[in-house]
A = this chain, B = another copy of it.
Amino acid sequence: MNKIITVGREFGSGGREFGCRLAETLGYAYCDQEIVSEIVDRTAFSERYIQQILERKPTISFPIHIGRTLHTVPSPMLEQSTLLYQKQCEVIREMAEKSNCVIVGRCADHILREQHPFRFFVYADIESRIKRCREKEPEHENLTDRELRKRILDVDRQRSRYYGFYTDHTWGDRINYDLCINTTNTSIREIVTALSMLFMSQMQE
């Protein structure tokens, strides 16, 4: 069976860099944007639309009363969210079948739970996340610290709702992960070098 590593992460904590470096060091496939591209090929939706839908918890339609009868209002948005999540599951499972891989976000820890992935969660304090986002900020964007902090916390809230909706677990709750890494004071490069040893030693057994 292939070795699967999943990486959940707080926005701005360097989770993507961690996943990417780990994949590179171990010679595993790194799956992130590739998953969206694959869904684009299999559906009629644009990359941007898919990205948007796959980052938000779907809006549920509640039954309404018309006279004395309960009716469920069909919600095209909910249907599309469900369809895209299913496509994402399909693509992720195929990628995990193909080779050893590192998958960042996308509830991959839950989708691949039967393959027993090694599950990381990467986080950091808000100040260092603001600093990291600031370093990667496009030139035309001039957000204040307050606006940037709000954006970071908004993205986390979306991720938390999305993860909770599809997995029934709490996003970021340590019990759902094998190792939680605080990147506030720890160098991602160094932690990757050390942890890659863990997977190399496991591979030798």
Q: Are A175 and B179 closer than 8 Å at their CB atoms?
A: no
B182 touches A125 (CB 8 A): no
B179, A186: Cβ atoms closer than 8 Å: yes
Report if A193 contacts B (CB, 8 A). Answer: yes
- Determine the residue in chain B with the shortest Cβ distance to A200: B194
Contact residues on A (Cβ < 8 Å of other chain), bracket: 20 to 34
* Closest B residue to A185 using CB positions: B178
- A interface majority secondary structure: mixed
Q: Mark out the residues of chain A between 101 and 130 whose CB falls within 8 Å of any chain B CB in the assembled complex.
A: 116, 121, 123, 125
Cβ contact within 8 Å between A198 and B194: yes
Q: What's the least CB distance linking A106 to chain B, in Å? A: 21
Q: Is the CB of A125 within 8 A of B175?
A: yes
* Chain B CB within 8 A of A153 CB: no
> CA A97 – CA B153 in complex, angstroms?
39
Would you list 18 pairs from A and B whose C-beta atoms are within 8 A, ordered by A residue?
A116-B185, A121-B174, A123-B175, A125-B175, A174-B174, A177-B180, A178-B181, A178-B182, A179-B180, A179-B181, A179-B182, A179-B186, A190-B202, A193-B197, A193-B201, A194-B194, A194-B198, A195-B195
